[in-house]
Chains A and B, each alone.
Chain A
């Protein structure tokens, strides 16, 4: 690895801690920065450093394997450890990269959506959210997960509520999210509490070892698992615990919607993977039951039901939000089938969907920025008035449907094969049908955008008015990433398989 030779040793050694400490400290400093431009610049620099660090961690992980960082030199299980392994390294990269992309995009977006005196707090909350997400991804300590979960959640409530400057409904959406998010976090911490009762430790690797010794543990462990699954289910918008999500995505400021759609639910899904397969084990009968009946059942129902709901939405962002709930269903299906191939496919879809949905939300945000567009019928003639933005939307949209040469195709095909290999033929049929539903809800937008003429406003036909470069660059980065993954998928598939093998063992 030639790149790693340029990285100073102290960064390699302390990268996991650096990853969460830097945004935490900078969030506090950014909050009191007087100048909004400086606030943006500092956030940009922080996220850029985070991205480089995350890539370093991922490369280093690929080279040396799992690393455990001891916070303050205290050895686990007594001290808090930060773990970087094949499962969370890609998620760390995803979160850091998405934060950088969002910040670039936020430069023009916040000017339109956030009042000047709120911009520094906005960036501070954004950095806190990033710190929380990164923290809950890298930490090896169950209670620490809860702490970072709350850090990210509370800052997210603030970020969502900041959409009120644009649409007052953001306040009720944020409140709704706050109530449900707090319930979710409470359930999660109750679950962790029960686990502590059962195992006497908070370190996740230690918990896993003790639970295995106890052969899955007593009823307390079962209850703990139930609480954790439901708590995380709320956070990851598992159907029918998704009701907070459409409002939060639709009324938050556009950069926040894109960031949340591609990171927040994904980090929660990562935790679900971590707890179901790493702390607990699918060999315990109660875990197997939950996988088979709860995750698969709710996943499949969510895929169908949320896709149908997406078709009937008139607000594009609500439509994309319901689509997210449906896509979470794909991931849950992959996790629930619980073979190495299926978990790899679900994990791959987690990464791919983040790229896809991020791109879509960035594009729709740019459309709002220029024309105030949120509803489906407003898409008329966008192929002419914003060709580049609509182009990015189209590429990401096709990827969501799962057209060949796109990321969505790769993960859906992998999931289809995993389901077929396990003999789950009805699941194959469901994947096909929901892909057709995705074709309908994306296709009708493309139809309106490309085959109808631009609207007439005040007696004049709307003319071309493309989004600024700071918005086009992020959305096209994601759109092209989606195509890149669709053609040269080996790296991504390899990462997903390594992650699944870490959880389930090879084959």
Chain B
């Protein structure tokens, strides 16, 4: 196998799964078998590619061209490889969870569901491996379209309304802001290829780059920078596995990944730093971080609280990108990894609670931890990682972003980061504490839940796996940083 073939396989494997799943849809076990085989094959491919990238390889694959001047091409670099690694590894874990959740809740149209997830994964792989902005844009739109049936899976009026807002904001921002930004970039720079250190020729007007940066920051709606965030809470009408995989990992991470990629490979850190609007955007991101945390605090619905928490945590990455110093960018890259593992844990716990106990609100969770200790234990670990408490993975990026704020001379932004961490503690930890410490409101109910719990082990095991993952990643942060280092221009910043 050559890296080029592996690159093609990134798209082919999930797409093949998407074709096979409807064909074997009659038999549930075979259908899920396809998903797992595809997931493992994809992970193996990604690991192979990661090894190649780590040793300096930059596999490229040209798929064709269109409109005379645009190349449709793939090229993998460390940031993309990282994103691909997260998405592919969590696809497998999440598929286990999906299996337990969908069967446990007897959801309809499961075949369509699994097929759409596979397509969404293919689109994510495309985003991760895009060689230029135009290619990335195409996969970005494909991801929106393929996840739309997942968001509206329930098919009731509420799901449709959520889906409408989802599609409207994501399609609207990308077509109205992102596409003009890409074309504008192409007009000025003559290319949209991703090149370490940026593509804009020296002497480009800072006014033009300011406008472009704004268009990118808000055009990448998937990064949920306020005020483009409402799609995310509204997407919570989707079944929890979708929220877990897509709205904690694939879709939102595609957004912030694109943001980081644009900053490092299109603008380049030096130009970003010189562009006046990067400072404003850093402040908007800081405001997003705090404001979303405050809103999260006021949500009683568990998934809604997690959604706003996601909005807040995504803005960390945008903030890191806009700081445009090595600590900020690497911290943002690390935050993509750590937040993915932490947040998917929390969402899967929420899904487990819903599947086993049929509870959706935080006020109903009193004492439930005693009946479901593993789930609440995993939740606590995930929450601590999100907050950023050592020895959990989430602590590194927080630390690095604070360093980055100091490095870029915006030390006052540390206040926002600390405020957010405190808010995180206030809105996440009590959920687990309630479960363990408070007395159950209705002990008979809980006794019943303890009985049915045994049937649902496939919704309990996956969050435990990812919680352990969050812990383990703490010790591998250095390796990930070494892997990401080449995305910065040589010679440091």
A435 within 8 A of B: yes
A447 touches B138 (CB 8 A): no
Contacts of B171 in A (CB 8 A): 443
Contacts of A489 in B (CB 8 A): 66-68
A451 touches B164 (CB 8 A): yes
A432 touches B68 (CB 8 A): no
Given contacts A403-B175, A420-B187, 18 further A-B pairs with CB under 8 A are: A404-B134, A405-B67, A410-B68, A413-B183, A417-B187, A428-B184, A428-B187, A432-B180, A432-B184, A435-B179, A436-B175, A439-B175, A443-B171, A447-B168, A451-B164, A451-B167, A487-B66, A493-B68
CB distance from B127 to the nearest CB of A (A): 15
A105 within 8 A of B: no
CB distance from B70 to the nearest CB of A (A): 7
B221 within 8 A of A: no
B183 touches A416 (CB 8 A): yes
The DSSP consensus for interface residues of chain A is: helix
How long is the Cα–Cα vector from A404 to B183 in the complex, in angstroms? 11
CB distance from A379 to the nearest CB of B (A): 14
A435 touches B164 (CB 8 A): no
**Residue from A404, A428, A489, A490 with most neighbouring chain B CB atoms (10 Å):** A404
Contacts of A428 in B (CB 8 A): 184, 187
B66 touches A405 (CB 8 A): yes
The DSSP consensus for interface residues of chain B is: helix
How long is the Cα–Cα vector from A402 to B134 in the complex, in angstroms? 13
Chain A residues within 8 Å of B, Cβ to Cβ: 401-405, 409-410, 413, 416-417, 420, 428, 432, 435-436, 439, 443, 447, 451, 486-490, 493
Contacts of A487 in B (CB 8 A): 66-67
Residue of A nearest to B167 (CB): A451
Residue of A nearest to B163 (CB): A451
B137 within 8 A of A: yes
B187 touches A409 (CB 8 A): no
B134-189 at interface with A (beta carbon < 8 Å): 134, 137-138, 160, 163-164, 167-168, 171-172, 175-176, 179-180, 183-184, 186-188
Residue of B nearest to A437 (CB): B176
**Residue from B69, B163, B175 with most neighbouring chain A CB atoms (10 Å):** B175
Contacts of A436 in B (CB 8 A): 175-176, 180
Contacts of A439 in B (CB 8 A): 172, 175-176
How long is the Cα–Cα vector from A490 to B64 in the complex, in angstroms? 13
For this complex, 21 residue pairs linking A to B, each with C-beta atoms less than 8 Å apart, are A403-B175, A404-B66, A404-B179, A405-B66, A410-B67, A413-B69, A416-B183, A417-B187, A420-B187, A428-B187, A432-B183, A432-B184, A443-B171, A447-B164, A451-B163, A487-B66, A488-B66, A489-B67, A489-B68, A490-B68, A493-B68
Contacts of A493 in B (CB 8 A): 68
How long is the Cα–Cα vector from A409 to B186 in the complex, in angstroms? 14
How long is the Cα–Cα vector from A438 to B68 in the complex, in angstroms? 24
How long is the Cα–Cα vector from A403 to B187 in the complex, in angstroms? 17
CB distance from B158 to the nearest CB of A (A): 13
Contacts A404-B137, A486-B66 given: A443-B172 contact, CB under 8 Å? Answer: yes
Cβ contact of A435, chosen from B69, B168, B180, B188, cutoff 8 A: B180
CB distance from B171 to the nearest CB of A (A): 8
How long is the Cα–Cα vector from A493 to B167 in the complex, in angstroms? 33
Contacts of B167 in A (CB 8 A): 451
A409 touches B175 (CB 8 A): no
A486 touches B175 (CB 8 A): no
B206-233 at interface with A (beta carbon < 8 Å): none
CB distance from A456 to the nearest CB of B (A): 15
Contacts of B66 in A (CB 8 A): 404-405, 486-489
Question: How many A-B residue pairs lie within 8 Å, measured between CB atoms?
Answer: 58
Contacts of B184 in A (CB 8 A): 428, 432
How long is the Cα–Cα vector from A48 to B167 in the complex, in angstroms? 43
B67 touches A486 (CB 8 A): yes
Contacts of A413 in B (CB 8 A): 67, 69, 183, 186
B180 touches A404 (CB 8 A): no
A404 touches B175 (CB 8 A): no
Contacts of B168 in A (CB 8 A): 447
CB distance from A415 to the nearest CB of B (A): 11
Contacts of B176 in A (CB 8 A): 436, 439
B63-108 at interface with A (beta carbon < 8 Å): 66-70
CB distance from B184 to the nearest CB of A (A): 7
**Residue from B67, B180, B187 with most neighbouring chain A CB atoms (10 Å):** B67
Cβ contact of A416, chosen from B137, B138, B187, cutoff 8 A: B187
How long is the Cα–Cα vector from A482 to B167 in the complex, in angstroms? 24
CB distance from B89 to the nearest CB of A (A): 31
CB distance from A269 to the nearest CB of B (A): 22
How long is the Cα–Cα vector from A215 to B140 in the complex, in angstroms? 55
How long is the Cα–Cα vector from A486 to B67 in the complex, in angstroms? 6
How long is the Cα–Cα vector from A401 to B141 in the complex, in angstroms? 15
Contacts of A447 in B (CB 8 A): 164, 168
Contacts of B172 in A (CB 8 A): 439, 443
How long is the Cα–Cα vector from A256 to B171 in the complex, in angstroms? 34
CB distance from B391 to the nearest CB of A (A): 46
Contacts of A417 in B (CB 8 A): 187
How long is the Cα–Cα vector from A417 to B187 in the complex, in angstroms? 6
Contacts of B67 in A (CB 8 A): 404-405, 409-410, 413, 486-487, 489
Residue of B nearest to A453 (CB): B160
B185-204 at interface with A (beta carbon < 8 Å): 186-188
How long is the Cα–Cα vector from A300 to B188 in the complex, in angstroms? 22
Contacts of A402 in B (CB 8 A): 179
How long is the Cα–Cα vector from A402 to B179 in the complex, in angstroms? 10
Contacts of B163 in A (CB 8 A): 451
Residue of B nearest to A410 (CB): B67
How long is the Cα–Cα vector from A435 to B176 in the complex, in angstroms? 8
How long is the Cα–Cα vector from A272 to B175 in the complex, in angstroms? 33
Contacts A451-B160, A486-B66 given: A401-B175 contact, CB under 8 Å? Answer: yes
How long is the Cα–Cα vector from A493 to B65 in the complex, in angstroms? 14
Residue of B nearest to A403 (CB): B175
CB distance from A348 to the nearest CB of B (A): 10
How long is the Cα–Cα vector from A40 to B172 in the complex, in angstroms? 44
How long is the Cα–Cα vector from A404 to B70 in the complex, in angstroms? 10
Contacts of A486 in B (CB 8 A): 66-67
How long is the Cα–Cα vector from A416 to B69 in the complex, in angstroms? 13
CB distance from B62 to the nearest CB of A (A): 15
Residue of B nearest to A432 (CB): B180
Residue of A nearest to B208 (CB): A425
CB distance from A443 to the nearest CB of B (A): 7
**Residue from B68, B138, B188 with most neighbouring chain A CB atoms (10 Å):** B68
Contacts A436-B176, A436-B180, A451-B160 given: A404-B68 contact, CB under 8 Å? Answer: no
CB distance from B139 to the nearest CB of A (A): 11
A404 touches B138 (CB 8 A): yes
CB distance from A441 to the nearest CB of B (A): 13
Task: Give 6 nearest A-B pairs by CB, closest first.
Answer: A432-B180, A451-B164, A420-B187, A410-B67, A487-B66, A436-B176
CB distance from A349 to the nearest CB of B (A): 13
How long is the Cα–Cα vector from A451 to B138 in the complex, in angstroms? 23
Residue of A nearest to B177 (CB): A436
Contacts of B138 in A (CB 8 A): 404-405
How long is the Cα–Cα vector from A443 to B174 in the complex, in angstroms? 13
Residue of B nearest to A420 (CB): B187
Contacts of A432 in B (CB 8 A): 180, 183-184
Residue of B nearest to A494 (CB): B68
CB distance from B258 to the nearest CB of A (A): 16
Residue of B nearest to A402 (CB): B179
How long is the Cα–Cα vector from A447 to B163 in the complex, in angstroms? 11
CB distance from A290 to the nearest CB of B (A): 27
How long is the Cα–Cα vector from A451 to B188 in the complex, in angstroms? 38
How long is the Cα–Cα vector from A404 to B182 in the complex, in angstroms? 11
How long is the Cα–Cα vector from A435 to B484 in the complex, in angstroms? 37
Residue of B nearest to A421 (CB): B187
Residue of A nearest to B165 (CB): A451
CB distance from A452 to the nearest CB of B (A): 9
How long is the Cα–Cα vector from A416 to B67 in the complex, in angstroms? 13
CB distance from A394 to the nearest CB of B (A): 12
Contacts of A416 in B (CB 8 A): 183, 187
